[in-house]
Amino acid sequence: MKSIKKKFNLFIGGILTLITVLMLIGFTSMNHLLSNNATERLILSSAKETTHAVSTEIEREVDLSVMLAKNIAVKEWLLDENNSDKKNKAFAQFSFVKDIMRSKNLFVAVDKSKHFYVADQEEGFPEKPMGTLNQRLDDDQWYFNTIGRVKTYDLNVDTDRFLGVVRIWVNAVVYDRENPIGIVGTGMTLDSLINKVYAESSEGIKSVLIDGSGAIQLSKEYDDIYEDSFEEVAPFEYTIFSQIQDIKAKESIRDYLKSPDEIITVDINDKLYDRVTLAPITEVGWHIVTFYDTSSISARPKLFPVMIVGLFVLSIILIIMKSFIQNNIIHPIELLNQTVVSITDGKGFMDPLFMGNDEFEALAKNIREMNEKIEHYTEKLEELVQERSKTLKETFEEIAENEQRLKILLDTLPIGIFKASEVGIIYGNQLFLDIFGCMSVKEFRAEQTHQSKYPFITTEDQVRFKKDLYDKGFLKDYYSQMVRMDGTVIWTELNVHCIYKDNQVLYYEGTIIDITKKLNQNNLLINQATRDTLTGVANRRTFFELLENTMASPDHSGDGICFVLIDFDNFKVINDKYGHLAGDHILIAIIDRIRRQLRSDDLLGRIGGEEFAVLFLDMPHDIILDRVQSILDAVAFEEVFYETMPIHVTISAGISIRRPVDSVQALYRRADDALYEAKRNGKNQFAVHR
């Protein structure tokens, strides 16, 4: 019996021969098709990829530094550096960001104290600052040139006098409203840049880094970074111009360095290289310069005669293989296929007639026996299928009915239910969709694709939510502001837990409630109970409760409490002349002027009618007198307009400084006596009773 394996081995040999010839032809064709235009595109593509890789390294560290500069915990600590609780919260944020930075280092400069903190590599943040910035030192000018002059961030390449290392420094300015309060950032080591640039250096290609003056900062031959070159022009032998003898090419490079907007290619007449590209790294003012020997990267052998011979040989092989496969493999397979088709169509077994005694004949015999068994088992299988189909149908109907009941139950629950993963929302019941104003889960998921932070208002809120959830594995009574599809901001209460698989979070699920209306109602009730409905300041009961609690507190003992009683001059005349609506308008306008003269922790309240009071805490007495005078001046400085009518308003004030044995009544009585004295002395002034 002839073995079909031998036939198959012959077939494989032919295929291998064919592949060999095709590879030779393909290699020749690729070399032949490589033209000057293709070489140019290869050169530009290489320069763009290298520049993009370096810029991406820098942009990532910039984004993390700017995110940290906007962190609330960081701002609170910079405003109160000695507060240990705020410091711990801020340092936790610093450590979190440092761990995800590739540079693995972070620095903080506090504007108020000029203290400088650094955490480098695997070190934690130090309890004490590394040093203090000095405006008279040249090495510290980077800070004073950045604070107050840069809106968001800037970069500089310099030697840090505290660490004694050269890095690319990312300086992100931290603001409290419009006021700069410090700088946070990172110092990028040059290891990553060295790897990116050297990766492009190969046979026929050489890459170097230069600064804006043409000084070589990094090359294959000089892989050390010269610290002096950041402040002074490098010696002539380390400039790009010393590497090029072509005068015309030098002029082109000088023109580029004056305005380096995009990648350029320059032809050079050099022994080793004939083309050079210059690509700007705009973040640090450096440039990647790459020399090319185009003959090395685009040279191709002349294999045209070989290609012709190969094509001829391939044609002969194909003809021989086609005849062999047709007679020894394809024809027997066709006969077997006809037999199988006959069985499949239900026509019964058709015995193929083979000329020979090989594996195909044995296969035909096996097919014949298999057909007999198939016919036998088919009858039994049909009976079993009918029985199982009936059972499956009943089961599917029951599952569908249960699923419908569950969906109705979930959609009618008075609470939002959801399931989500890192990719986005997976499931949400009807109330969940109603909370966010969505028609379907698909619409919600589409919004998440458009805005990855959705439904959170800020990315920081989203990051904090996931960090708290993944750290504990669950969140109970978690409150967060979110935004609906129409842009409405709402308050929500969440209860969430994680589902794990192989110690990894597979997804998380939980419940959500819209508590915005409840919070608004609570805030309204609190406001109505504690605030004057006309002016919005504390009402009489709230003011005196706060005054009494303050006087009883050991934090405000001695004469650190000052009570100021304010009364409008001739206010009855204004009410009688212009009406009570005008009087209310004047009260609102004047109280707004008084409020602008106070600190955020000063207390302003309405005692009754046109009588108001101010409580100053822990303020020097001479500053209190200046502050009260500024209030009188702000009120009397310009008229209040009511329905185009100018109305001149003044106030008088009585000041009392707390004595150690004072009660609330005694403090109030002395302020009232001082107010009476100010009225008696001509009004629009104040008097003091210590």
Q: What is the pLDDT of residues 239-284, one digit of tens each?
A: 888 878 888 888 889 889 888 878 989 889 877 788 889 989 876 6
Q: What are the structure tokens assigned to 279, written together?
A: 């690509």
- Do residues 414 and 431 lie in contact, with contact meaning Cβ atoms separated by under 8 Å? yes
pLDDT of residue 295: 76
Mean per-residue pLDDT for 634-644? Answer: 92
| Cβ neighbours of 116 (radius 10 Å) | 20
Average pLDDT over residues 37-59: 77
Answer yes or no: is 663 within a domain: yes
% of the chain with per-residue pLDDT over 70: 80
pLDDT of residue 401: 75
pLDDT in tens, 72-112: 999 999 999 999 999 999 988 888 888 888 777 889 999 99
Residues 215 and 232 in one domain: yes
DSSP conformation class of 614: E
- Helix, strand, coil shares, percent, the chain, to 5: 50, 25, 25
Q: Which pLDDT belongs to residue 37?
A: 64
What total of structural domains would you count in the chain? 4
Q: Is residue 308 part of a domain?
A: no
Same domain for 547 and 681: yes
Mean pLDDT of the chain: 82
Question: Kind of pairing, strands 561-568 and 603-608?
Answer: unpaired
504: alpha, beta or left? (left if phi > 0; alpha if psi -120 to 50): beta
- pLDDT one-digit tens code per residue, 525-538: 666 678 898 999 99
Residue 195 confidence class, pLDDT cut points 50, 70, 90: low
DSSP states along 554-608:
GGG-TT-EEEEEEEETTHHHHHHHH-HHHHHHHHHHHHHHHHHTS-TT-EEEEEE
How far is residue 580's CA from residue 278's CA, in Å, rounded to a whole number? 77
| 323 occurs within a structural domain | no
Mean pLDDT of 162-171: 78
pLDDT by residue (tens digit) across 315-363? 788 678 767 776 666 667 766 677 777 777 766 666 665 555 667 677 7
* Cβ-based neighbour number of residue 23 at 10 Å: 11
Residue 226's pLDDT band (cuts 50, 70, 90): very low
Q: Which of 520, 549, 580 is the last residue of a domain?
A: 520
Cα-Cα end-to-end distance for the chain: 127
Q: Which two tokens stand for residue 513?
A: 């409630």
| Both structure tokens of 662 | 């004072």
Q: What is the pLDDT of residue 223?
A: 47
* Residue 180 sits in the same domain as residue 219: no
Q: Is the pLDDT of residue 227 over 60?
A: no
- Measure the CA–CA gap between 165 and 159, rounded to whole angstroms: 5
Q: What is the CATH number of the domain that holds 549?
A: 3.30.70.270
Is the pLDDT score of 513 beyond 90?
Answer: yes
- CA angle (513 as vertex; 510, 516 as ends), nearest 5: 150
* Domain final position from 470, 492, 520: 520
Instruction: Give a yes or no: residue 637 inside a domain.
Output: yes
- Among 487, 520, 553, the domain-final residue is 520
How far apart are the C-alpha atoms of 503 and 495, rounded to whole Å?
21
For the sheet containing 166-176, what is the strand order?
131-132, 115-120, 105-110, 179-188, 166-176, 153-159
- Domain range for 273 is 192-298
Beta bridge partners, 188, equal 168
Domain annotation covers residue 551? yes
User: Are residues 505 and 637 located together in one domain of the fold?
Assistant: no
| 487 vs 491: CA distance, rounded Å | 13
> What separation in angstroms does the CA of 606 have from each of 257, 502, 530, 602, 610?
68, 63, 11, 14, 8
Q: Is residue 141 located within the same domain as residue 89? A: yes
Does residue 679 share a domain with residue 588? yes
- What is the model's pTM? 0.37
Q: Whose CA is closest to 636, among 566, 680, 685?
A: 685
Same domain (yes/no): 546, 681 = yes
CA geometry: angle 104, 106, 108, nearest 5 deg: 175
Cβ atoms within 10 Å of 204's Cβ, excluding its own: 16
If asked whether residues 144 and 256 sit together in one domain, one would say: no
Residue whose entry in the numeric block shows the structure tokens 């707004």: 592
Q: CA-CA distance, 71 to 94, in Å (whole number)? A: 10
- Residue 308's H or E segment, with its range, is helix 304-325
Same domain, 80 and 209: no
Hey, which of 278-282, 513-517, 583-587 has the most confident mean pLDDT?
Answer: 583-587
Residue 647 placed within a domain: yes
Q: Is residue 606 part of a domain?
A: yes
Tell me which of 203 and 481 has the higher pLDDT: 481
Q: Classify burial at 4, counting beta carbons within 10 Å of its beta carbon; exposed 0-12, middle 13-18, buried 19 or more.
A: middle
Output 137-143 pairs: Cβ under 8 A, ≥24 positions apart. 137/161, 142/169, 142/171, 143/109, 143/171, 143/183
**CA-based diameter of the chain, in Å?**
137
pLDDT of residue 411 exceeding 60, the answer is yes
Q: Which pLDDT band, with edges at 50, 70 and 90, does 492 fall under?
A: very high
**What would the mean pLDDT of 179-195 be, rounded to a whole number?**
78
For position 148, which CATH number holds? Answer: 3.30.450.20
Whether 114 and 129 have beta carbons less than 8 Å apart is answered as no
Q: Is 187 helix (H, G, I), strand (E, B) or coil?
A: strand
Q: Are residues 155 and 139 in the same domain?
A: yes
| Long-range Cβ contacts of 370-374 (<8 Å, 24+ apart) | 371/343, 374/343
Residues 82 and 209 in one domain: no
Would you give the DSSP letter of residue 658?
P
Number of H helices, E strands in the chain: 20, 23
CATH code at position 229? 3.30.450
Same domain, 228 and 95: no
The answer to whether residue 654 is domain-embedded is yes
